[in-house]
Amino acid sequence: HELNQPLTAISNYCNGMISRLSEQRISNEELLSALEKTSRQAQRAGQIIQRIRAFVKRSEPNPMPSDVAQMVSNAIELADIELRRQQVRLSPYVAARLPSLMVDPILIEQVLINLLKNAGEAIAQAGRPPGERYVELRVGPRRLDDEEVVEFSVRDSGNGVPDEMIERIYEAFYSTKSEGMGIGLKLCRSIVESHHGRMQVQNIYNGEEVVGCCFSFWIPVQSRLQADNTAPAAPSASLTDTERAR
């Protein structure tokens, strides 16, 4: 389930390159860009396996100082592929000058990807017309219980979560989707709570009518987590994807 996004991206990039190469309508620069994106997602698939395997084994993240805007950008790059396929418009907003967070970026990105993917699926299930097929992603500062946090919220225009299911939605192997495995939200909440954060779900109402759903989670700015100095160093931002692949 967690590997589906990078593997789908790799497949899409490869199929696009094959199609454009066969028609001789791709430049060397465009080909290099597509190959770099493919390489990045292959690396990401390996990171997801490594991080989630380690997290499930010891229930602890590998924290490091992480840029919020970069994490959001990485998540959107993958989730937007699925949202476009479902003809769902994504409207992202990230507040300026957010503080760096001491988190495991791969795990937090995976939470965002899962929430965005679930939002797109909820809209598709609701059968909304084109003008109502949208997801809003908002990231900004907030103060909760005298603590500074960064809030991530994903709002969809689906049918919401039935009241009788809200209490059970985070249970392992419980899903509101007929084809769902019920692992995604359980893992998402575990990841957020391992960072001393919280997650909640709320239906969105217009009068008495449910017109969508909002999943939110918060990560504290002053983290109690310590950087894991045994974790592999992140690749230098000055290197290109091709150089990192070498």
Confidence at residue 3, expressed as pLDDT on a 0 to 100 scale = 67
Per residue in 69-90, pLDDT tens?
Answer: 999 999 998 888 889 888 999 9
Is 229 within a domain? Answer: no
Which pLDDT score, from 0 to 100, does residue 197 have? Answer: 94
Is pLDDT of 103 > 70? Answer: yes
pLDDT class for 20, splitting at 50, 70, 90?
A: confident
Instruction: State residue 229's pLDDT score.
Output: 53
Structural domain boundaries enclosing 214: 59-224
Question: What CATH number does the domain containing 116 carry?
Answer: 3.30.565.10
Number of structural domains the chain divides into? 1
Q: Which of 122-126, 159-163, 190-194, 240-244 is the least confident region? A: 240-244
pLDDT value at residue 62: 83
Residue pair 91/45 in contact by the 8 Å Cβ criterion: no
Measured on CA atoms in the order 59, 64, 69, 71, is the torsion positive or negative?
A: negative
> Is 183 contained in some domain?
yes
The HSE-up count of residue 68 (CA atoms within 13 Å, CB side) is 22
Beta pairing, strands 101-103 & 64-66: antiparallel
Q: Distance (Å, rounded) from C-alpha 219 to C-alpha 150? A: 5
The tens digit of pLDDT for each residue in 117-171 reads: 999 999 998 888 888 899 999 999 999 988 999 999 999 999 988 777 776 676 6
Q: What is the pLDDT of residue 215?
A: 94
State the pLDDT at residue 238: 38
Q: Is residue 129 part of a domain?
A: yes
